[in-house]
Structure formats: structure tokens, C-alpha cells
């Protein structure tokens, strides 16, 4: 099974240690993905960033290595089967294994079902839900062959309840949360844990783009987003810390679980 023994003298000193682990992060060039790639690398993992934006992905690698972490970039359109297969095969060939997969790539279109175009529905569902399926499809056999691993999917508070003018996003994120449970059942016997993290509003380019899509003033939009019990919008690090929990030995007996990280927004 994956990470069931500790190699440090003091368990509390090594329980979040990812030294030598290979972590694959989709949508890893910015926002939650970049924040997570950075944190996992600083905990000892090699963070392999998958993204469609090659320029931004390579910059993310430079930023992480400048901090002393280990990172690589692999260009990948998560909506394309061939891209996902070749990316995972390349990483497995280079490193011999994949220990952590963070299915994080996602997009949003703030429209009702009446106003949403078919191509917009396809884009949101394909990037968010199909991408997680494709990367998992090719990663699971690699993990199973090398003793297991941890898959973490990015859900959303709107995958647990409805949201205004976000029908495709809500559908895709609801699918992610239940897909997580199904995968945990299927692949637990192979030593693979599958969990999801559901963020609330996080200060990322994606959130600021929502304000533009809705035609709202950015400052007032962010103030409204901060209207929750902890009185602030989340940061990428808030979510990265939750992903670290699921990626590390601290969660060895946790699978099929969704962790809401939203400052109390759904409370």
C-alpha cells in the first residue's frame, strides 16, 4: 500500500514529507494549480505541471526552482485523449512512477442553461470533468504497478449545491465529487486513494474573470465573495494545504472523501 510506513525517527517530523515523490498537477501554471505545485515541491516532491499554456507553464517551473523546489513542465490539453496518454507515459518513463495526481484543470462560464452555447458547455465539461477522467485513466495503471498512490480532484462548493448562472460548471463539479467516490471504490484494492477538495471563492485569475463575465466591478465582486464566516476570499495556499493533506501519509486511511475548504461559505 502507498506510504503505510514512516521512515523518520519521529512520525510528526515526516508525516508531511513528500521527498522523492512524483506529483502531477493539471492546470498547474497558475492559481490553485501553481500554488499546489509550489507547496508540494517545497515538501520534497517533483511537481510535474501539465498545462495547455506552454509559456506560463515554463515560467511556473522557473519560479518554483528559484525557491529551491523541483518542477517540470509537460504541455497537455486535458481534453485530448492522446495528449493525456502521452503526457502520463512520458512522466512514467522518466521517473518510473507517479505517486500523486492532482486533477485541477477547470474553466467556468457564468451563464444559465438558456444562454449557454453548446460549445461553451462542451468546453467547461471537457476541461473540468473529462480531463480528470482521461488523466486518471492513464495514471491508475502506473500507480497500481508501483504500489499505489493518491489522486486528488478539484471539486467546488458549487459541486455540492447550486450556483447562479453557472450551470455547466455546477454540473461538471458535481460530477467530479461523485466521480471521486466511485474511483475510490474501484481502485482502493490497488492501493490508490481518491479524494476531492472543494474550494470556495479563491483569489485567482479564474475568479477575477468571473467578474468580467458577469459585467461586475472587480472590487465589489471580490467584496461580495468575501462575505462568509471567515470574512475573506481564499488563497491558492489554502487549497494547496488541503491537497498536501491528501497527498501525504497523514491521510493514509482516507479515501472517497470530499473536503470543503471555503471559509465557512456552505455552513
2 is a catalytic site residue: no
Q: Which listed residue (2, 133, 138, 169) is catalytic?
A: 169
Is residue 170 within 8 A of residue 158, CB to CB? The reply is yes
Reduced to 3 states (helix: H, G, I; strand: E, B; else coil), residue 184 is: helix
From residue 155, alpha-carbon distances to 56, 175, 202 in Å are: 23, 9, 13
Residue 25 pairs with which residues in a beta bridge?
A: 49, 102
DSSP E strands: which ranges in 29-148?
A: 46-51, 70-75, 100-103
Listed in sequence order, the residues at least 6 apart from 52 whose beta carbon sits closer than 8 Å to its beta carbon are: 75, 76, 77, 78
State the pairing for strand pair 22-26/46-51.
Answer: parallel
Reduced to 3 states (helix: H, G, I; strand: E, B; else coil), residue 94 is: helix
Of 67, 65, 84, the residue nearest 26 (C-alpha): 84
Residues tagged active-site: 169
Amino acid at each position: 500500500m502507498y506510504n503505510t510506513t514512516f521512515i523518520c525517527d519521529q512520525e510528526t517530523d515526516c508525516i508531511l514529507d513528500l521527498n522523492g515523490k512524483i506529483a502531477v498537477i493539471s492546470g498547474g501554471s497558475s492559481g490553485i494549480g501553481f500554488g499546489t505545485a509550489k507547496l508540494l515541491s517545497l515538501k520534497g516532491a517533483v511537481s510535474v505541471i501539465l498545462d495547455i499554456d506552454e509559456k506560463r507553464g515554463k515560467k511556473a517551473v522557473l519560479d518554483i526552482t528559484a525557491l529551491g523546489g523541483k518542477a517540470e513542465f509537460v504541455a497537455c490539453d486535458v481534453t485530448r485523449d492522446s495528449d493525456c496518454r502521452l503526457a502520463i507515459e512520458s512522466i512514467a518513463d522518466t521517473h518510473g512512477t507517479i505517486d500523486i495526481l492532482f486533477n485541477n484543470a477547470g474553466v467556468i462560464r457564468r451563464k444559465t442553461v438558456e444562454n449557454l452555447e453548446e460549445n461553451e458547455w462542451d468546453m467547461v465539461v471537457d476541461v473540468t470533468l473529462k480531463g480528470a477522467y482521461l488523466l486518471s485513466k492513464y495514471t491508475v495503471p502506473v500507480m497500481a504497478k508501483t504500489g499505489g498512490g493518491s489522486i486528488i480532484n478539484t471539486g467546488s462548493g458549487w459541486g455540492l449545491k447550486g450556483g447562479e448562472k453557472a450551470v455547466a460548471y455546477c454540473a461538471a463539479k458535481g460530477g467530479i465529487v461523485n466521480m471521486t467516490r466511485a474511483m475510490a471504490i474501484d481502485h482502493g484494492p490497488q492501493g490508490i486513494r481518491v479524494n476531492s477538495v472543494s474550494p470556495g471563492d479563491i483569489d485567482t485569475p479564474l475568479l477575477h474573470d468571473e467578474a468580467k463575465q458577469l459585467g461586475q466591478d472587480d472590487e465589489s465582486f471580490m467584496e461580495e465573495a468575501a462575505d462568509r464566516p471567515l470574512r475573506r476570499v481564499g488563497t491558492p495556499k489554502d487549497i494547496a494545504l488541503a491537497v498536501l493533506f491528501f497527498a501525504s501519509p497523514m491521510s493514509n486511511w482516507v479515501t472517497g472523501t470530499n473536503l470543503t475548504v471555503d471559509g465557512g461559505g456552505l455552513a
